[in-house]
A and B are shown apart, each in its own frame.
Chain A
Amino acid sequence: MAVLLVYSEKIETARELVAGGKELGAALGLGVSAVALGPGAGAAASELAAAGADTVYVSEDAAFEGWPADAVAAGLAQIADLAGAAVVFVGSTRRGKETAPRLAQKLGAGCVTDVNGLAAEGGELVAARYAFGGATVAREKLTTPVKVFAVMPKTFSVEGATAGAGKVESPTLNVESRVTVVDRRAKEGDHVNLDAAPLIVGVGRGFNAREDLALGDQLAAALGAVVGCTKSLADFEWLGEDRIIGLSGAKTAPDLYLGVGVSGQIQHTVGVAGAKLIAAVNKDKEAPIFAMADYGLVGDLYEVVPALVERLKSV
């Protein structure tokens, strides 16, 4: 049986891909196998075998330390050959998204990245992803013998996944990376759970300085909301990674998402598309966030937010 191969360096994403792969594989006549790479990957391999993958290919080769794209793409290509993979799912994390196209190029495969929905239609996989900066959803299929899909975290759910007892194999791989890690350190950050928050204030680059985020905190406090942010604020280390909403962070579904100084770039807004109500404060009337908002406050956040905080006192 041809194989649907799944891989993510993040175990929770890999488990989702196994669960989603099993469902789609059943419709396409593909068995599901998984890959775990890097020092210490043995534990992930056992977990994926128990999560329903038929075979888990594991390698703890030192070249996979830090998951460099060149080595991971080479390793995955070798395993795809070995396993007889017709389809490869890679978790569309930052690391996965830089690896999947390189893997596809090695395999002579078509590739779709940032996939947020997959369906088996007429014996073929059709992948959905945002296009035109998020204005549209492109549904794409691939015409190559091997197909690579980089699938966003949380596209599939592990709920209701059946346990399995797959086997674990350790193939010999020929891999090296020409990228060396000079330094790797954890970012500073606090901890918050955006997935469960009923009200979210999202802050973005409209804030001029880190200390100005106090305004966002005051607004969140007045609303009883949790603060989330765009990726760039976490990149600036103004807020922790666990506050990121969007492609590389939380996909939320609150009763209200209120974006403040958020322009509405798709990398962020994919994480709030499921909100019951979307509102935004932005000084640019043409900001894309207003195109997807229920309510828009057009003005300088440094004036609008204090006015909102004041008004909320009397609610």
Chain B
Amino acid sequence: MDIVVCVKTNPDLQMVRIKNREAVTEAVPYKIGDLEKNALQAAVDLRTAVGGKVVALCLAEGNRKAAEDIKVALAMGADEAVVIDDPALAAPDQAAVAAALAAAVKKLDACDLLLFGEGSTDNYTGQVGPRVAELLGLPQIGYARKVDAADGVVRCVRSMDDMLETLEAPLPAVVTVVSEINEPTIPGLMQIMKAKSKPLQVWSLADIGIEAPAQVREVVSNLAEEQDRKHILFEGTAAEQADAFVDALIREGVLGR
């Protein structure tokens, strides 16, 4: 089975600082999103079970080191990687991302199952998977926490509000996964070394045969909320911190009323 995992690299949110209410992302390294790692692991597990190939597909979105960062996917077990890197898509909206990914999937020409994380670590819009499904005319199953595929059918278990559902769709299909699906393995030195010799291609928009899509969204502002939290971190032993915290709650009028 040929599985394509769409992978986004995000600025490492732990290292994004807020200055004058703006997120400072300069010099912040990128890394593959958490849910995409779950999707990669699910793909590798499926390949182990039923055979086939796993391709990691990444749109650079302005990350100049995307072709380096995607090697983590290869080390995690993907067989090949493709990075779409084009200056016209340095800051794309979700419709543009979907258009580029769908065109790249068509160029790959072999995709039985297309996996996504349910959302990206940074903005979590959840738009790209469903948009790609629509563009390629494929059925979609969102929020999978278990994925099996056999005999041309994908079967997923997902949790929806107060319901647990088991759903099936004919392949090819789009599936988005949640973090509960697995615990992604952290690649060892051997896997990292092996990844260096795996095929990695970099494509431009011309390579996938599309023009830069028109923007459908305008970001008016993107600022940290003004908040006046106290940010008091207690120190000391558990008992000392408990003392200080309970004293604070009494001062605040939350306790002892």
Q: Which residues of A contact B (CB under 8 A)?
A: 66, 69-70, 73, 93-95, 97-102, 104-106, 109-114, 126, 129-133, 135-144, 177-187, 189, 199, 223, 232, 234-236, 241-242, 248, 255-256, 266-267, 277-279, 285-286, 288, 290-300, 303-304, 306-308, 310-312, 315
Contacts and interface: CB of A to CB of B under 8 A. Distances in A.
A4 to B, nearest CB: 18
Contact of B126 (A98, A187, A232): A98
Contacts of B218: 140-143
B229 A294 contact: yes
Given A105-B131, A298-B241, A311-B242, 14 more contacts: A69-B130, A111-B216, A114-B125, A133-B124, A139-B219, A142-B217, A177-B139, A178-B170, A183-B165, A186-B164, A235-B145, A278-B229, A295-B245, A315-B250
13 contacts: A100-B130, A101-B131, A133-B122, A135-B224, A141-B220, A177-B139, A223-B255, A277-B252, A285-B233, A296-B234, A297-B242, A308-B242, A315-B256
Contact of A138 (B145, B159, B219, B250): B219
A256 B221 CA distance: 30
Given A97-B126, A241-B161, A143 B222 contact: no
Contacts of A178: 139, 169-170, 173
Given A99-B130, A105-B131, A111-B94, A180 B167 contact: yes
B254 A277 contact: yes
Contacts of A256: 249, 252, 254
A71 B134 CA distance: 11
Residue from A189, A300, A303 having most chain B Cβ neighbours under 10 A: A303
Contacts of B180: 232, 235-236
A199 B254 CA distance: 9
B14 interface: yes
A99 B232 CA distance: 42
Interface string B167-196: 111100100101110000000000000000
Contacts of A235: 145, 159, 178, 180
A133 B121 contact: yes
Interface of B: 11, 13-14, 16, 18, 21-23, 93-95, 98, 121-131, 133-135, 139-143, 145, 155, 159-170, 173, 176, 178-180, 215-225, 227, 229-235, 237-239, 241-243, 245-246, 248-250, 252, 254-256
Given A179-B169, A307-B239, A295 B221 contact: no
Contacts of B98: 105
B257 to A, nearest CB: 10
Contact of B179 (A137, A187, A232, A306): A232
A2 B224 CA distance: 35
Contacts of B129: 98, 101
A180 B168 contact: yes
Contact of A292 (B135, B145, B227, B256): B227
Given A105-B98, A135-B224, A179-B141, A110 B161 contact: no
Nearest to B14: A286
Contacts of A110: 93, 95, 216-217
Contacts of B249: 256, 277
B133 A102 contact: yes
Nearest to B220: A139
Nearest to B250: A315
A234 B160 CA distance: 11
A284 B135 CA distance: 42
B162 A241 contact: yes
Contacts of B131: 101-102, 104-105
A297 B246 CA distance: 11
B23 A295 contact: no
B126 A109 contact: no
B176 A98 contact: yes
A267 to B, nearest CB: 7
Contacts of B93: 110
